[in-house]
């Protein structure tokens, strides 16, 4: 019987510059757009979070003090239903 191949999750790091003392999270298609699920940590002047994601294409935004922001370091965006843009990451 052939063995099923399972796609391995990959570690993806999200990082954004924001002042210490802010509340920063990453939300996207990987967590049902829920900013409470992936809070980011402040270290060495940067907010960061590492997530384990299956290969695929994901849309996301940073949420800084309740304000939804695209990733300024991302080079791919896509329009969303709210008339703004979402950042896009592709996990190979």
**Which residue is listed with tokens 């391995």?**
8
| pTM beyond 0.85 | yes
Per-position DSSP letters for 4-57, written without gaps between them: PP-PPPEEEEEEE---TT--EEEEEGGGTT-TTS-B-EEETTEEEEEEEE-SEE
Rounded average pLDDT over 65-88: 97
**Which residue is listed with tokens 């049902």?**
32
Is 2.60.40.10 the CATH classification of the domain at 10-91? yes
Q: Which tens digit of pLDDT belongs to each residue from 27-68? A: 999 999 999 999 999 998 899 999 999 999 999 999 999 999
Percent above pLDDT 70 for the chain: 93
Q: Which tens digit of pLDDT belongs to each residue from 5-25? A: 567 999 999 999 999 999 999
Q: What is the pLDDT of residue 6?
A: 60
Give the whole-angstrom CA distance, residue 8 versus residue 48: 22
Predicted confidence (pLDDT) at residue 1 exceeds the cutoff of 50 = no
The burial of 21, by beta-carbon neighbours within 10 Å (0-12 exposed, 13-18 middle, 19 or more buried), is given as: exposed
Predicted confidence (pLDDT) at residue 80 exceeds the cutoff of 70 = yes
Q: What is the pLDDT of residue 5?
A: 52
């Amino acid at each position: 019987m052939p063995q099923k191949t399972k796609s391995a999750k990959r570690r993806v790091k999200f990082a954004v510059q924001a002042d210490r003392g802010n509340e920063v999270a990453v939300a996207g298609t990987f967590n049902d757009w829920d900013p409470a699920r992936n809070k980011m940590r402040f270290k060495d002047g940067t907010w960061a979070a590492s997530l384990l994601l299956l290969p695929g294409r994901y849309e996301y935004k940073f949420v800084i003090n309740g304000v939804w922001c695209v990733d300024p370091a991302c080079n791919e965006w896509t329009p969303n239903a709210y008339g703004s843009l979402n950042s896009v990451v592709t996990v190979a």
